[in-house]
Amino acid sequence: MKKRLLTMLMAGVLVVSMTACGEASGDSTQGTDSDAGAGKDTSAADTETTDSTDSASDTLTVWCWDPTFNIYAINTAADIYAKDHAGFSVDVTEILSDDIETRITTAVSAGDLSTLPDIFLMQDNSFQKYIANYPDVFTDLTDSGIDFSQFSQAKVAYSTFEGKNYAVPFDNGAAINCVRTDYLEQAGFTVDDFTDITWSEFIEKGKKVKEVTGYPMLTAQAGMPDLIMEMLQSCGASCFKEDGSVNIEENPAVKAAIETYQELVDTGVLQEVTDNDQYIGALNNGTSVGTVNGCWILGSIQAADDQAGKWAVTNIPSLDGIEGATNYSNNGGSSWVITSNCKNIELAEDFLNTTFAGSTEFYETILPSAGALSTWLPAGNSDVYGEPQDYFGGQAIYSDIVEFAGKIPSNITGPFYYDARDSIGVALSNIIQQGADIDAEIKTAQETVEFNMNA
């Protein structure tokens, strides 16, 4: 099967979430040292052939996405590391997560890993597929000196393969319900009215908010099943069974989640938009009351300075009528990989070990600006996590989110996670955009994943 899956990947059958972990579009190079926000545009041709540093260089090349979150974090880490390592810098190229994965596939199929950078960021839900099929891309970090026991073990498991560690965990993907309190007040609500509720209650209250303000509670990119997957995990449900077989067609949580999404759209409580730029734009220009997403979305929300003090964070709605449903879930999360093409692996290991796996100062710095919650456990003991945040009306949102993260039900991902996710995305698009039958689309989604697994 591995050989057949490799063939499929080489053919380019690879579609992954654009919204998970706050992806941003475009390619650009970001300089570091003390200019975390500086950058210059570079052509696609340039980024296709990014050269890794030679062994004498103190510069590490990095691929990742999202200027306000991941790029900001890696640049900040470089600034901190450079304080004790004169001359060190990182050369960051902004590349979408799905484009990074496509470039990995292209490099392997061409038999030329020299096009890869020293370090890249990978979505946690993609990890098992890529490490299983392209092990030569990854540097084994098991004996690197990084103490993986200091991270959330559920997070570490994403990048663990056959008992070895292949990445340094980064961000927490705990899902949040982030709302504009000023809009809620206009409709006679507070954030407490949206805490520990079900989706049916959310819809009823959301209809009143829309009636009063004229704005939907949520926006979402059409055809993107992020919210569906969050609903599933909030129940501890998955598209797969323990034995690895597909669990879509006869999974009551799948149907309940899709029906709930359809009701959100039909009532106008959720408005679909064309792309991720429009989604972020709705938050920043005040045409959406809020969002349900991974906590990494906080960085994008806080980009609108004029909305300071007008936001609050609470847990997400639970799915009605499903056993085990909770108000807690996860969306996204990612980890740092050192590639086999890295010419200075010891430098790369020490950099990640000293910062992402060893610096409270680093996590204290990036937390308020980017909302980048650590999965490195010692950082959770910092007083910064319990500090009131002015942007969120004085709420100590980070300690709240850490509490949410501890209540998230586990689920099953495996190598075919994105095949299932994408098939549900197609089903969702057909149902919402074309009025297709829910049961028929769920059946097709099941069959599509089964076909891909056996192709």
Tell me which amino acid residue 60 is. Answer: L
Mean pLDDT of 40-52: 36
Rg (CA), the chain: 21
Q: 307-336 burial, b if ≥16 CB within 10 A, otherwise e?
A: beebbbbbbbbbbeebeebbbbbbbbbbbb
Cα gap 292→165, rounded to integer Å:
31
pLDDT at 4 exceeding the cut of 70: no
CB 151 within 8 A of CB 95: no
Q: For the chain, count helices (H), then strands (E).
A: 17, 14
- Distance of alpha carbon 451 from the chain centroid: 27
Domain ranges across the chain: 7-173+333-381, 175-329+410-454
Name which of 112-126, 156-170, 187-201, 303-317 the model is least confident about: 156-170
| Sheet containing 175-180, strands listed edge to edge, beginning at the edge strand earlier in sequence | 290-294, 175-180, 311-314
Mean pLDDT of 92-103: 96
The pLDDT, as a whole number, for residue 18 is 36
Q: What percent of the chain has pLDDT over 90?
A: 68
The pLDDT, as a whole number, for residue 156 is 82
Pairing relationship of beta strands 59-64 and 89-94 according to DSSP bridges: parallel
CB 299 within 8 A of CB 370: yes
Q: Where does the pLDDT of residue 118 fall: very low under 50, low under 70, confident under 90, or very high at 90 and above?
A: very high
Residue 149 gets which letter from DSSP? G
Which residues share a beta bridge with 120? 63, 337
CB 139 within 8 A of CB 366: no
Q: Where does the pLDDT of residue 27 fall: very low under 50, low under 70, confident under 90, or very high at 90 and above?
A: very low
Mean pLDDT of 213-225: 97
Show the tokens assigned to 380: 């959770």
What architecture (CATH level 2) is domain 7-173+333-381?
Answer: 3-Layer(aba) Sandwich (3.40)
The pLDDT, as a whole number, for residue 8 is 36
Chain segment 257-286, per-residue pLDDT in tens: 999 999 999 999 999 999 999 999 999 999
Nearest Cα residue to 139 out of 346, 414, 351, 375: 346
The pLDDT, as a whole number, for residue 208 is 98
The pLDDT, as a whole number, for residue 32 is 35
* DSSP codes, 309-375: TSEEEEPPPBPTT-TT--S--B---EEEEEBTT-S-HHHHHHHHHHTTTT-HHHHHHHHHHH---B-
- CATH superfamily of domain region 175-329+410-454: Periplasmic binding protein-like II (3.40.190.10)
Tell me which amino acid residue 425 is. Answer: G
Whether 175-329+410-454 and 7-173+333-381 are alike in CATH topology: the answer is yes
Show the tokens assigned to 229: 């997957």
Which residues share a beta bridge with 71? none
Mean pLDDT of 417-427: 95
Cα gap 150→377, rounded to integer Å:
6
The pLDDT, as a whole number, for residue 6 is 36
Chain segment 325-373, per-residue pLDDT in tens: 999 998 888 999 999 999 999 999 999 999 999 999 999 999 877 768 8
Q: Where does the pLDDT of residue 218 fall: very low under 50, low under 70, confident under 90, or very high at 90 and above?
A: very high
Cα gap 353→168, rounded to integer Å:
8
Cα gap 59→282, rounded to integer Å:
38
CB 151 within 8 A of CB 376: yes
Could you tell me where the beta strands, DSSP code E, fall in 286-436?
A: 290-294, 311-314, 334-338
The pLDDT, as a whole number, for residue 154 is 67
Name which of 43-57, 190-204, 213-227, 314-328 the model is least confident about: 43-57
Mean pLDDT of 125-142: 93
Which residues share a beta bridge with 61? 91
C-alpha triplet 314, 331, 206: angle, nearest 5° = 45
pLDDT at 44 exceeding the cut of 50: no
| C-alpha distances out from residue 26 to 66, 127, 149, 276, 380, Å | 10, 23, 36, 12, 33
Nearest Cα residue to 356 out of 110, 94, 156, 104: 156
Chain segment 282-312, per-residue pLDDT in tens: 999 999 999 999 988 988 999 999 999 999 9
Cα gap 72→361, rounded to integer Å:
15
Tell me which amino acid residue 74 is. Answer: I
Query: Which pTM value belongs to this model?
Result: 0.73
